Amino acid sequence: MPGVWGVVLLVGAFMGSALGEQTASPPAGASPEASSPASGPSLKETTDWIESHLIGLTHTSRRAIVTYRAPKKNKPAVEVDRQIVNTHESVSVVSFEGCSLTLGQLIKGDDYSVVAVNHIPLDQLTRTFLKLEQQSGRKTTEGLESSETTIQPASFTSLTIEASANAITWKRRSTGSVPMEEIAIPFEGKGKSVKIDSDDESLPPRIVNAFNHAIQLCHHNVKPEPF
C-alpha cells in the first residue's frame, strides 16, 4: 500500500506529464447555443471561480460486508467475518486555459490509488447537471452462509459534465490492489461525460450554474465555418 507521500508523488508526476500533453481546443464548428453574448461574469472570472471552488470537492464512502454462518440447518447464524472498505474520491487538479479544462481526479482506497486526468473542451459541451445518487445494501444467502452489505452514506450528489460527442479524453494510472470495478475501466479513451461525486449539498448547484455560464460563453466565442 503506497504511503501518503507516494500518492502525492504519483498525482504530481502524472498531472505534470498530462498537462504537458494537453492539446489546443478542437477545431471550431460547433453551433452556438445563444445568438447573443451571454450576460454576467466574463469567461476568465467564471473559470477562476470554478477553479477555486471545484478543487478539493470530495466524496467518501464506507462499505461494510458481514458474513454469517449457521452451524446446522435451522440453527441461528453467527458472524464469522467482517470487512470494511473505505473509498475517498477528490478533485485534485482544476486548470483552465481559455475554453479548455484539465480536470484531475483521485480515487483512494485502503490499499490502492487511481489517478484520472480528463481534458474537457468547453466549446463542445452541452450542459452540466446534478443528480442525487442512491446507494443501498444487499443480503445474499447460499446454503448455511449469508452475507449483508451496508453502504454509507445512503445518498450523495453527483455532478455530470456532458458533451455532444466523444470530445472528452482521459488517461488513468493506478497503484496497489485495484478492485475489479476500477480495472474494468479503460486506462485511456474518449467519452461524452465526466462525473464528479460530492458529499457537499450546497456547493455543487453553484458550480453547475458557473459551468453552464462558461459553456454559453465558449459556444458564443466559436467562429462558424466560412462555407
Could you tell me if residue 132 is inside a domain? yes
Contacts by 73-79, CB closer than 8 A, 24 or more apart: 73/144, 77/144, 77/146
HSE toward the beta carbon, residue 112, CA cutoff 13 A: 16
Residue 108, pLDDT score: 95
pLDDT per position as a tens digit, 30-49? 333 433 444 689 999 999 99
Could you tell me if residue 227 is inside a domain? no
Could you tell me if residue 90 is inside a domain? yes
121 contacts 29 by C-beta, under 8 angstroms: no
Could you tell me if residue 200 is inside a domain? yes
38 contacts 220 by C-beta, under 8 angstroms: yes
Its pTM stands at 0.75
Question: How many domains is the chain partitioned into structurally?
Answer: 1
For residue 72, give its domain range: 4-221
HSE toward the beta carbon, residue 165, CA cutoff 13 A: 5
Could you tell me if residue 19 is inside a domain? yes
Can you read off the three cell numbers belonging to residue 179?
Answer: 478492485
Rounded distance, CA 103 to CA 113, Å?
17
Could you tell me if residue 75 is inside a domain? yes
Could you tell me if residue 46 is inside a domain? yes
User: Is a pLDDT exceeding 80 seen at residue 155?
Assistant: yes
Could you tell me if residue 148 is inside a domain? yes
pLDDT per position as a tens digit, 79-100? 999 999 999 999 999 999 999 9
**Of 155, 167, 115, 133, nearest to 10 (Cα)?**
115
**Of 220, 217, 225, nearest to 96 (Cα)?**
217
Rounded distance, CA 108 to CA 60, Å?
10
